[in-house]
């Protein structure tokens, strides 16, 4: 039994992405799923004849687990298998086989003793029960939210996952604090007639399960490849010279974006060669302070305290040279002189008022004057002028005409009816 897609027929079928093979079942087929892993060792022969007995099996959303193929079944990526669970059994799809499974297990520090076994390749009855349980999940989630709201619990049911045999239902929820759901479990057990398991997850894990599109236009990192969620603080935005705007820095989960940590180390290494942003230069024309820093251009913008509207961009080496003057209790040269000596161009100043204009990037339309035809056809010009005058002159004849009065015919008056 394979993944159940239209192009598969047996367990030897290995589904690829949706775009390559046209698979009709994206939820259970191949690598068209969340947190997929590319098997780069699939085309490399193992140095030993013994194959890795462990396989990676994925379930709903981003839940994965590792199992032991004790019966040496011919499993491939996309094969639907029945695995051991507590209680009963579960049904999942094989997502990874081969030597790469050992590397994944070592990275996640999973020992061989914790691994359960695979019973068999799922038959038609197992798949039917599994699909019927999956169809009930949406209605169960809506009904579970209503029950939690009626009990007045401050929690949100994010997702519901049924086991492959329908013997257990796992409810994933988010909450600010601890929730006393003893009465809630009783209500769920009486309503859904199955074993109830409650798991609290964070807001980042909730976004990973739900998925979506980020502000960058790409699919969320947490639902595609990101597995470890590190803490993010506003210092990461300050190091990268970003404005502290919660609306722009927050992700779909409501927390700071995880991508703020991606380039943080590079920025910290680059800023180690920069002087402090709180540096104040004592020049011949007055004291100057730092306005902003450009890490890529390795420049710092300074402005005088008396005239903060004019900015002067200086290289980091020039700024260090000016600081050396101040350390010797000497006044540094004026910023204009430093800028003129470093380049032949005039000192570039930035007007803050002009910089805040909304139309500063728009091209101004040029007004083209009509060309004089040299009065080649004076008759035509006179005709056009006369036509314009006729349009502009008021029509006095129409104004003098009085509106004709319309006389309405008198309505017929009927005599009143006589009462007998």
Q: Residue 147: which CATH number?
A: 3.30.300.20
Angle at CA of residue 92, ends 88 and 96, nearest 5°:
135
- H/E run at residue 64: strand 64-68
How far apart are the C-alpha atoms of 249 and 260, rounded to whole Å? 8
In a domain, 33, yes or no: yes
- Cis amide prior to 87 (ω within 30 degrees): yes
Among 90, 123, 156, identify where a domain stops: 123
* Contact assessment for residue 134 and residue 90, using Cβ atoms and an 8 Å cutoff: no
In a domain, 365, yes or no: no
Residue 361, Cβ density class (10 Å: 0-12 exposed, 13-18 middle, ≥19 buried) = exposed
In a shared domain, residues 259 and 296? no
Residue bearing tokens 């669970």: 85
Among 65, 95, 123, identify where a domain stops: 123
In a shared domain, residues 114 and 184? no
pLDDT at position 354: 56
Higher-pLDDT residue of 411, 45: 45
In a domain, 404, yes or no: no
How far apart are the C-alpha atoms of 386 and 50, rounded to whole Å? 102
DSSP 235: H
Sign of CA dihedral 18, 21, 23, 27: negative
The total domain count for the chain is: 4
In a shared domain, residues 144 and 119? no
pLDDT at 230 over 90: no
Range of the domain at 181: 136-201
pLDDT at 381 over 60: no
In a domain, 233, yes or no: yes
In a shared domain, residues 234 and 286? no
- Bridge partners of 171, per DSSP, are 160, 198
In a shared domain, residues 23 and 93? yes
pLDDT, one tens digit per residue, over 98-151 is 888 888 888 888 888 888 999 999 999 999 999 999 999 999 999 999 999 999
Least confident piece of the model among 80-94, 186-200, 338-352, 400-414: 400-414
In a domain, 310, yes or no: yes
pLDDT, one tens digit per residue, over 43-94 is 777 666 667 889 999 998 888 899 999 988 999 888 999 999 988 899 999 9
pLDDT at 388 over 50: no
pLDDT, one tens digit per residue, over 19-36 is 333 344 434 444 446 667
In a domain, 6, yes or no: no
* Contact assessment for residue 120 and residue 82, using Cβ atoms and an 8 Å cutoff: yes
pLDDT at position 391: 47
How far apart are the C-alpha atoms of 317 and 297, rounded to whole Å? 12
In a shared domain, residues 260 and 289? no
């Amino acid at each position: 039994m394979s993944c159940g897609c239209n192009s598969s027929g047996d367990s030897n079928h290995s589904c690829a992405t949706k775009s390559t093979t046209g698979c009709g079942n994206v939820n259970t087929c191949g690598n068209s799923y969340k947190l997929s892993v590319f098997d780069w060792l699939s085309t490399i022969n193992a140095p030993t004849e013994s194959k890795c007995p462990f396989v990676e099996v994925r379930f709903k959303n981003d839940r994965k687990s590792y199992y032991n193929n004790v019966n040496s079944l011919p499993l491939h990526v996309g094969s639907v298998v029945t695995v051991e669970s507590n209680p009963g059994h579960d049904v999942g799809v094989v997502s990874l086989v081969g030597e790469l499974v050992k590397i994944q297990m070592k990275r996640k520090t999973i020992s061989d003793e914790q691994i359960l076994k695979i019973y068999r390749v799922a038959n038609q009855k197992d798949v039917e029960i599994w699909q019927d349980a999956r169809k009930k999940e949406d209605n169960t989630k809506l009904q579970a939210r209503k029950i939690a709201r009626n009990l007045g619990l401050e929690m949100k049911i994010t997702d519901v996952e049924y086991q492959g045999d329908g013997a257990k239902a796992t409810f994933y929820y988010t909450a600010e604090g601890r929730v006393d759901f003893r009465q809630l479990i009783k209500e769920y057990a009486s309503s859904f007639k199955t074993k109830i398991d409650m798991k609290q997850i964070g807001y980042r894990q909730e976004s990973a399960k739900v998925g979506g599109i980020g502000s960058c236009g790409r699919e969320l990192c947490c639902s595609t490849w990101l597995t470890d969620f590190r803490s993010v603080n506003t210092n990461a935005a300050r190091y990268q010279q970003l404005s502290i705007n919660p609306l722009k820095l927050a992700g779909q989960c409501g927390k700071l974006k995880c991508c703020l940590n991606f380039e943080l180390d590079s920025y910290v290494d680059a800023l180690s060669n920069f002087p402090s942003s709180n540096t104040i230069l004592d020049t011949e024309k007055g004291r100057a302070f730092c306005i902003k820093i450009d890490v890529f251009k390795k420049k710092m913008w300074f402005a005088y305290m008396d005239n903060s509207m004019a900015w002067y961009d200086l290289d980091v080496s020039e700024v260090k040279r000016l600081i050396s003057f101040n350390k010797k209790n000497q006044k540094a040269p004026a910023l204009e002189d430093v800028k003129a000596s470093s380049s032949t161009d005039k000192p570039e100043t930035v007007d803050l008022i002009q910089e805040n204009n909304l139309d500063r990037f728009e091209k101004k339309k040029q007004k083209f004057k009509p060309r004089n035809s040299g009065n080649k056809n004076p008759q035509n010009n006179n005709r056009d002028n006369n036509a314009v005058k006729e349009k502009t002159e008021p029509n006095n004849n129409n104004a003098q005409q009085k509106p004709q009065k319309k006389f309405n015919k008198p309505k017929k008056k009927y005599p009143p009816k006589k009462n007998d």
